[in-house]
Structure 1
Amino acid sequence: MPLVVEFAAQEPERLATWWAEVLGWTVVGGTEVRPDGPGVPLRFVPTSDTKDGQNDVHLDLRSETHGEQNHIVERLFNHGARFADIGQSTEVPWVVMADVEGNELCVLEPRKIYACTGPLAAVVVDTTDPREQGRAWADELDYDVVIEQAEFVSLRPPTGEGPHLEFLHNEHPKPGMLRVVLG
C-alpha cells in the first residue's frame, strides 16, 4: 500500500489547491493532491477542530541551491504562508513556515541525500521511539533505512525516488492536523 499524508483541514479544497500550487502537483476530486513525478499523495479531510499547537507530522520541501531555497520561501510567503517559530535556533540552515491553515513545514537548504525526491524532500514524524517506528514502517512499506540513529531514522523508497519518511525523537509528540496513513 502506498504512503499518503492526510491533512485535517477547515477548508479542505482551499488547502488542497494551496499545496498543489506550492508543489506544482495536481488536485484530483477537489481534496486530493497527486504528484506529477516523484512524491506521495496528499489527502485533505474536513474537520471543525482548530489547530492547537505544533503538529507531530510536517513536510520538508527540497531546494537545489541556496538561491532556490530563498525563491521557495518567497513564493510560499506570497501564497499566504507565514514564518513559524517551533523553537528552532537562529543558526539552523532551513526555514520554518506554516501553510494557510497553520501547518508547519520546512524549506530545506540543499542536501544531496534528497536529490531524487521531487519538490517534497521528506515527511517527518515526531515519535518517542524513532528506531521502533522506523523499522515498523520500513517493513510495512518495503522502504530502505538510509539513516538510523537513536534520535533520527530516515527511510527511502526502494527506487530511490520520492520523499523520505523520517522519524524524529520527541518525548511528547502531540497528534495534530496531519497524519501518515497507508493509502
Structure 2
Amino acid sequence: MALRLVQVNIKARDDSALGQFWADALGWGVSSEGPGVTNVEPLNFKWPDPAAVCVDVVTVPDPETVKYRVHLDLATTSAQHQQELVGRLTELGATPADIGQGDVPWVVMADPEGNLFCVLEPRPIYQDTGPIATVVVNCENPRVMADFWCEATDWTLHEVNDEHARLRSSSGVGPYLELLRTSDPDALQSRIHLDLMPYPGDDQAAEVARLHALGAHDADVGQGDVPWKCLTDPEGNDFCVLRAG
C-alpha cells in the first residue's frame, strides 16, 4: 500500500484568474472539474502521472485565514533563462518578495494573490523535473518528516540531514518533494497543501487508517461532507487523501 503525490492545492479568491497565472507561468493548460475549481496541468497530460505534480486552484471564501507551509520552486536551465522567466512572471502579475532571504542566487516572488514561490538558479539536479523543480514543505525536523512521507507515499528518499530531506517519485521522474528545516515554520504563511491519491484498487479508508498509524491526524478545515479526507502530518501540515483514480 502506498499513496501518490498527485497535485498541490492552492486556495484563491479567484480560481480562474490565479489558475491562468500558473498555467501561463508553467506553460501548461487549464481545465475545470466544476465551479470554483481550476485544474492546471501539462498539455496532453493523462492525470495522474508521476511525470508532473499538477496544480489545483480552488476558490474559498477567505483564503487569508488559511495557513499552510508549502511553496513551489521553479526550475531554470541557465542564468539567461532565470532572468527571462522572472521577467515573464513579472509581466503576468508576479511581484518580488522579501522574506529576509538576503543575497541568494534564487529569486523569491509572490503570485498575484500573494503566494510565495522561488525561481531557482540553474541546478543540475533539477534539469529533468519539468517547470516545477520541487515542492517545498517547511518543517522543524526534516528527518522525522522524511520518515513519515517515505512511509506515506511510494516516493524514494534521495538525501536527508538535519537541514533538509529530498524525495522523488519512485519512477524517477517529475519534481522533488523537499522538507526544509525552518526555525519558525508557523511564521511562514501560504495557502497551499498537498493532495495524495491511492493507486487503483487500493482502499481510501485503509490508507487513511495506515496514515493514522504513522502519526497523521484528522483535520477539520470546514470541508463538510466531501469525498476526500483531510489530515495533518506529524508537524501539523494539512494534506488530503483523494479517492483512488
Match of 1:24 in 2: 27
Alignment partner, residue 180 of structure 1: 194
The verdict on how the C-alpha distance between 1:54 and 1:107 changes in structure 2, with shifts beyond 3 A counting, is farther
Provide the secondary structure at the position in 2 that maps to 1:134: helix
Say whether residues 1:46 and 2:49 are aligned partners: no
Q: Which blocks of at least 5 consecutive residues in structure 1 are unaligned?
A: none
Of all paired residues, the percent bearing the same amino acid is 40
Q: Which range moves more in the overlay, 15-24 or 170-179?
A: 170-179
Which residue type is aligned with residue 56 of structure 2? R
How far apart, in 1, do the equivalents of 2:57 and 2:69 lie? 17
Which structure ranks higher in relative contact order (CA pairs < 8 Å, sequence separation ≥ 6)? 1
TM-score for the superposition, normalised by structure 2: 0.70
CA contact under 8 A between 1:55 and 1:103: conserved in structure 2? Answer: no
- The 10-residue stretch of structure 1 (49-58 or 160-169) with the greater mean CA deviation from structure 2: 49-58
State whether structure 2 residue 108 is matched by structure 1 residue 96: yes
Aligned residues of 2:11 and 2:63 also touching (Cα < 8 A): no
Deviations 1:21-41 (A, max 9, x none): 110112121511123463211
**Is the counterpart of residue 146 in structure 1 residue 146 in structure 2?**
no
Q: Do 2:4 and 2:154's aligned partners in 1 also have CA atoms closer than 8 Å? A: no
For structure 2, which runs of at least 5 residues remain unmatched after alignment? 46-50, 198-245
Match of 1:137, SS state, is helix
Per-residue Cα deviation, 1:69-91 (whole angstroms, up to 9, x for no partner): 0010000001000000111012x
1:41-92 alpha-carbon deviations (Å, 9 max, x no partner): 11112222253798511100000100000010000001000000111012x1
TM-score of the pair, normalised by structure 1? 0.92
Q: Which amino acid aligns with 2:87?
A: E
Please name the residue that 2:99 is paired with.
86
Task: Write the distance in 2 (CA, Å) between the matches of 1:87 and 1:52.
Answer: 23
Aligned length: 182
Distance 2:67 2:88 in 1: 23
Deviation at 1:172, TM superposition (A): 2.5
Is 1:157 the equivalent of 2:169? yes
Two-structure CA RMSD over aligned residues (Å): 1.9
Distance 1:160 1:50 in 2: 34
Instruction: Please name the residue that 2:9 is paired with.
Output: 6
Shift of 1:102: 0.5
Structure 1's 69 and 137: CA in aligned 2 closer, same or farther, altered over 3 A?
same
How far off its partner does 1:15 sit? Answer: 0.8
For residue 155 of structure 1, give the secondary structure of its aligned residue in structure 2: strand
2-structure distance, mates of 1:16, 1:122:
19
Offset, 1:128? 1.4
